[in-house]
């Protein structure tokens, strides 16, 4: 439900969740449908904590034929990655997972997704393994929490039975 009062717009969470999460509309499409600004949609998404991780957003972009779900610093439309190929996400200080942010101001997306799944920030000694070995494939079902010891060397995945070298 959208209520427009004197200089105030109230957008209820159910409507926004239906359009953005379930129907997978972009913020621009939600704004056009509700006849409000894209910025206002973004503010309400942030207020309600509704977001897509980059893997989901890229899937929606591919499915709908859009070039990219985000704009990167260089305007290439590709997600921001570190030199090892892991996707990075910037968090705001009020975010409950802000304690996981590195000095650069970013957190590794796969660690953030696992932390949200567990409902708590990850400890430094916890590692997240990509089951398929692809460092930017950050779907929840592709991630596995690994505890203790170093997360390096050769391992055999219990799901696909493939052997991987972890660097």
pLDDT tens digits, 74-112: 445 567 888 788 888 888 888 899 899 887 778 999 999
Looking at the predicted structure, is the pLDDT value of residue 121 above 50?
yes
Give the Cα separation of 110 and 126 in Å (integer): 12
Residue with more model confidence, 165 or 16: 16
Q: Answer for the pair 72, 54: CB distance below 8 angstroms, yes or no.
A: no
Task: List Cβ neighbours of 73 (8 Å cut-off, separation of 6 or more).
Answer: 80
- Each domain of the chain, given as residue ranges in start order, spans 1-51, 73-167
pLDDT tens digits, 43-76: 888 788 776 655 566 666 666 655 544 444 444 5
Q: Which residues pair with 63 in a beta bridge?
A: none
Categorize the per-residue pLDDT at 42 as very low, low, confident or very high, splitting at 50, 70 and 90: confident
**pLDDT of res. 115:** 92
The tokens for 52 are 């897509």
Task: List Cβ neighbours of 147 (8 Å cut-off, separation of 6 or more).
Answer: 125, 126, 127
């Amino acid at each position: 439900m959208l209520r427009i009062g004197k200089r105030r717009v109230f957008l209820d969470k159910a409507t926004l969740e239906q359009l953005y999460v379930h129907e997978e509309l972009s913020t621009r499409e939600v704004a056009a449908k509700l006849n409000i600004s894209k910025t206002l949609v973004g503010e309400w998404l942030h207020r309600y904590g509704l977001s897509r991780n980059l893997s989901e957003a890229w899937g929606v972009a591919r499915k709908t034929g859009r070039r990219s779900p985000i704009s990167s610093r260089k305007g290439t439309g590709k997600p921001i990655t570190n030199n090892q190929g892991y996707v990075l996400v910037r968090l705001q200080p009020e975010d409950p997972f802000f304690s996981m942010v590195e000095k650069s101001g970013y957190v590794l997306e796969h660690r953030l997704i696992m932390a949200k799944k567990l409902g708590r920030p990850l400890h430094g000694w916890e590692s997240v393994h990509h089951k398929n070995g692809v460092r930017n494939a950050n779907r929840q079902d592709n991630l596995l929490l690994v505890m203790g010891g170093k997360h390096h060397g050769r391992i055999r995945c219990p799901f696909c039975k493939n052997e991987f070298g972890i660097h």
